[in-house]
């Protein structure tokens, strides 16, 4: 799946969610994750994980919701680690623009 089509599928899921079709939205969001690898770029990934968790919460499926909340948290933790590593390798001493 091309990244553009993954983003398009995510937007379709958002539209379906706004229209109240939770099951179709969930299907779209989960389909966005199929075949996703670390090297692929899916800019809406954290938002997609968040939307999936919200839909599972609405269904009162808290176990699955928790899994996607943890995945979203891990995404941000990895991004922070990579940012810190990049700043260390470039010799930057600032963090988020603060000295």
**CATH code for position 24:** 1.25.40.10
Closest CA to 54 of 26, 75, 31, 34: 26
Please give the pLDDT value at position 99.
44
Cα-flanking dihedrals φ and ψ of residue 95, to 5°? -130, 115
Please give the pLDDT value at position 12.
97
Please give the pLDDT value at position 37.
84
Q: Cβ neighbours of residue 65 under 8 Å, at least 6 residues apart?
A: 53, 54, 56, 57
- Does 97 reside within a domain? no
pTM of the model: 0.81
Q: Which tens digit of pLDDT belongs to each residue from 11-62?
A: 999 999 999 999 999 999 999 999 888 767 899 999 999 999 999 999 999 9
Per-residue pLDDT band at 93 (split at 50, 70, 90): low
Of 35-39, 42-46, 63-67, 72-76, which one has max mean pLDDT? 63-67
Provide the residue range defining the domain that includes 14: 3-90
- Does 80 reside within a domain? yes
Please give the pLDDT value at position 86.
85
């Amino acid at each position: 799946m091309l990244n553009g089509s993954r983003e398009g599928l995510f937007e379709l899921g958002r539209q379906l969610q706004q229209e109240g079709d939770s099951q179709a939205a969930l299907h779209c969001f989960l389909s966005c994750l199929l075949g996703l690898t670390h090297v692929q770029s899916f800019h809406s990934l954290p938002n997609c994980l968040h939307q999936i968790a919200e839909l599972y919460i609405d269904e009162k499926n808290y176990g699955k919701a928790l899994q996607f909340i943890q995945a979203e948290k891990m995404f941000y933790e990895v991004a922070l680690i990579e940012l810190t590593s990049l700043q260390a390798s470039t010799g930057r001493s600032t963090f988020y623009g603060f000295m």
